[in-house]
C-alpha cells in the first residue's frame, strides 16, 4: 500500500492506494488561506504540517503493517522564510499572492537570460520575485528559504532532512533546468546564498527508509519526495508525447511531458519548462484564473448556485455570448499573459443582454485563456491530439464542452474521484518507480486509470471556426488592457 499526500492551494488530499491505483481510503481537509492585506494569499506552514499529521494518522489506522511508501505532492511557487533553527518567520506566500508584482519590472531586466537558464519567465508568482519583494519590505532576519515541501519533510523526518525534489525546486526561478542545480545567475539576482536553500534531489528515488511511530508506523517505510501536483497529474494519467493534461482546478493549465527542455522562441516567454520526475520535463502554461475565477464569480454574482444549474443557464446561449466578452483575470495573470495588473472585466454589455450571457462569457473567458496557451505551445512544435481532464472543473459539463470547442480538441473525461485525485495517483506511480515496480514512470500504468475513462467530448469543426473568430477579439482586448493597466503603459 502507498500513502500519497497532495497539498493543493485550497485543500489537502491524502489517499491510501494499492499498486493498481485503487483508492482504499482517503482524507480531505480545507487549508485556511490567510489574507492579511490586499494582494496577499498565504498559508501557515505549521497549520499544513498539522493537517498532514492528522490526515496520515487517519489513513494509516488499520493498515499499519501494509504501508510500503509515503510520497509527497505540493503546489508550486510557494515561498516561506525560516530562522536559524528552521522555524518559520513568515507564512508561505502562495502563487495567488500578487504583492511581488511590484518588483516584476526588476526581473524583466534579466528576463530572457533567466528564462533561458531556469525555464521560468520573469514573473511575480515565482519565489525569486517574492524574495526580492520581501527584501524590500519585510526586514526579516532570514537564514533559510523554504518552498513548503522541504519544511514538511524537515518536520516529518524529525529534522533529519532539509531537502526538496527537482520538480518543486524548478518552479522557484532559481534552479537551472539543464544541470538541475541552483543557478548562480539567478542566485546573484535574488541575493541568495546557496547555503540558505534546501538540498535538491531526484523525487522518483527513495530518500530514506524510516519509521514514523508518531503516526503509527513502527516498521520502516520508503520516504519518496515525489514532485509538484501538476507534473504528477500527467504522470498519474500516464500522459506522454502528443497528448496533454488539461487541468481545471484552482488554476487552468495545459501540460505536456517531454524528455527535452523546450522553451518559447517568442520573446513573450508564454510558457514554462519545469522538471517533473525520472528525467521528464513538463512544458506548459498555467493561468491563475481557473476554478478560482469561476468560484469567485459564482459566489459574488450567482449566490453559490449549484453547477448543474449553471449548466442549464448557459444551454441555448449562442456562442461568444452575443458579443459579450469576459476577461476572467480575478487574480492577475501569469501565463500566457504576463501581467499582475489584469483584472476581471466584462466588455460588450447592452440592454439586450441578460445574466446568462455573462455566465457563458465567463466560461468562454477561461476557455480562451487555454486556447492562447495551446497556440503558444503549437507555435513551438508542441501540438497535441487529446487533452485528458483533471480537477474539479471536469465535472462541469458546460465548461468542458466550451473548452473542447475553443481548443478544437477532444477531451477525455474520467471518473470524478479519479480526476480529483490525479496528483495523488501520480505520486503513487513515482513511489512505485522508486521501489522498482518499473524501470521508468512511463512504463507504470495504473489499472484504476485505464478503467476510469468515462467518455470523450468531441468538438464540432463548425463551432471551432466560430470560436477562432471570437478568440481573435479576446486576444486583442487582453493586449489592449495590459497596455492600459501597466504602470509604464507597456506590456510587462
Residues 328, 370: Cα–Cα separation, whole Å:
12
Tens digits of per-residue pLDDT, 66-77? Answer: 999 999 999 999
Task: Return the pLDDT at 487.
Answer: 67
Among 118, 160, 120, 435, smallest CA distance to 278 is for 435
Tens digits of per-residue pLDDT, 60-108? Answer: 999 999 999 999 999 999 999 999 999 999 999 998 898 998 888 888 8
Among 396, 454, 448, 385, smallest CA distance to 422 is for 448
Residues 181, 170: Cα–Cα separation, whole Å:
9
Task: Return the pLDDT at 420.
Answer: 85
| Least-confidence region, from 149-163, 187-201, 412-426, 459-473 | 412-426
Residue 162 has pLDDT above 70, yes or no: yes
Return all residues near 85 (Cβ < 8 A) that are at least 6 apart: none
Estimate the crossing angle of helix 149-156 against helix 45-60, to 10 degrees.
60
CA 57, 62, 66, 70: dihedral to nearest 10 degrees? Answer: -10
Tens digits of per-residue pLDDT, 12-27? Answer: 999 999 999 999 999 9
Mean pLDDT in residue range 284-304: 93
Among 132, 143, 209, smallest CA distance to 434 is for 209
Task: Work out the percent of the chain whose per-residue pLDDT is above 70.
Answer: 99
Average pLDDT, rounded, for the chain = 93
Residues 36, 138: Cα–Cα separation, whole Å:
14
Tens digits of per-residue pLDDT, 236-254? Answer: 999 998 899 999 988 899 9
Q: What is the pTM of this model?
A: 0.90
Task: Return the pLDDT at 490.
Answer: 45
Domain edges within the chain: 2-230
Q: What superfamily in CATH does domain 2-230 come from?
A: ATPase, nucleotide binding domain (3.30.420.40)
Residues 382, 376: Cα–Cα separation, whole Å:
9
Amino acid at each position: 500500500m502507498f500513502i500519497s499526500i497532495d497539498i493543493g492551494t485550497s485543500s489537502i488530499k491524502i489517499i491510501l492506494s494499492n499498486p493498481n491505483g485503487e483508492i482504499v481510503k482517503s482524507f480531505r481537509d480545507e487549508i485556511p488561506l490567510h489574507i492579511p492585506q490586499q494582494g496577499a494569499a498565504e498559508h501557515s506552514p505549521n497549520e499544513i504540517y498539522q493537517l498532514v499529521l492528522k490526515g496520515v494518522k487517519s489513513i494509516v489506522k488499520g493498515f499499519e503493517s501494509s504501508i510500503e511508501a509515503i510520497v509527497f505532492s505540493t503546489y508550486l511557487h510557494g515561498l516561506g522564510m525560516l530562522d536559524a533553527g528552521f522555524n518559520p518567520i513568515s507564512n508561505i506566500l502562495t502563487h495567488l499572492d500578487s504583492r511581488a508584482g511590484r518588483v516584476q519590472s526588476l526581473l524583466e531586466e534579466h528576463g530572457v537570460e533567466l528564462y533561458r537558464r531556469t525555464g521560468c519567465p520573469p514573473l511575480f508568482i515565482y519565489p525569486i520575485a517574492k524574495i526580492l519583494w520581501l527584501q524590500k519590505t519585510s526586514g526579516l532576519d532570514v537564514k533559510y528559504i523554504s518552498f513548503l515541501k522541504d519544511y514538511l519533510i524537515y518536520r516529518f523526518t524529525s529534522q533529519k532532512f532539509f531537502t526538496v525534489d527537482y520538480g518543486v525546486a524548478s518552479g522557484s526561478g532559481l534552479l537551472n533546468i539543464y544541470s538541475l542545480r541552483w543557478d548562480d545567475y539567478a542566485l546573484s539576482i535574488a541575493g541568495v546564498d546557496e547555503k540558505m536553500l534546501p538540498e535538491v534531489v531526484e523525487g522518483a528515488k527513495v530518500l530514506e527508509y524510516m519509521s514514523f511511530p508518531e503516526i503509527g508506523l513502527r516498521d520502516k517505510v520508503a520516504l519518496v519526495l515525489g514532485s509538484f501536483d501538476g507534473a504528477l497529474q500527467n504522470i498519474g494519467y500516464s500522459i506522454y508525447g502528443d497528448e496533454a493534461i488539461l487541468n481545471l482546478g484552482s488554476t487552468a493549465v495545459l501540460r505536456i511531458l517531454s524528455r527535452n527542455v523546450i522553451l518559447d522562441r517568442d520573446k513573450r516567454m508564454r510558457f514554462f519548462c519545469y522538471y517533473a520526475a525520472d528525467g521528464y520535463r513538463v512544458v506548459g502554461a498555467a493561468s491563475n484564473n481557473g476554478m478560482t475565477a469561476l468560484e469567485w464569480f459564482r459566489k459574488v454574482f450567482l449566490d453559490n448556485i449549484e453547477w448543474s444549474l449553471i449548466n442549464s443557464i448557459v444551454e441555448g446561449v449562442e456562442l461568444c455570448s452575443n458579443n459579450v466578452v469576459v476577461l476572467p483575470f480575478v487574480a492577475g495573470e501569469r501565463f500566457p499573459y504576463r501581467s499582475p495588473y489584469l483584472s476581471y472585466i466584462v466588455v460588450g454589455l447592452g440592454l439586450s443582454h441578460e445574466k446568462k450571457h455573462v455566465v457563458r462569457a465567463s466560461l468562454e473567458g477561461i476557455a480562451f485563456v487555454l486556447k492562447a496557451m495551446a497556440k503558444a505551445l503549437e507555435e513551438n512544435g508542441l501540438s497535441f491530439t487529446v487533452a485528458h481532464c483533471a480537477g474539479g472543473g471536469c465535472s462541469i459539463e458546460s465548461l468542458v464542452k466550451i473548452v473542447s470547442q475553443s481548443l478544437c480538441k477532444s477531451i477525455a473525461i474520467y471518473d470524478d474521484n479519479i480526476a480529483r485525485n490525479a496528483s495523488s495517483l501520480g505520486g503513487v506511480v513515482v513511489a512505485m518507480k522508486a521501489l522498482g515496480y518499473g524501470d521508468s514512470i512511463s512504463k507504470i500504468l495504473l489499472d484504476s486509470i485505464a478503467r476510469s475513462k468515462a467518455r470523450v467530448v468531441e468538438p464540432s469543426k463548425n463551432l471551432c471556426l466560430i470560436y477562432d473568430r471570437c478568440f481573435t477579439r479576446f486576444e486583442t482586448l487582453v493586449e489592449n488592457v495590459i497596455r492600459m493597466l501597466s504602470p509604464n503603459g507597456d506590456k510587462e
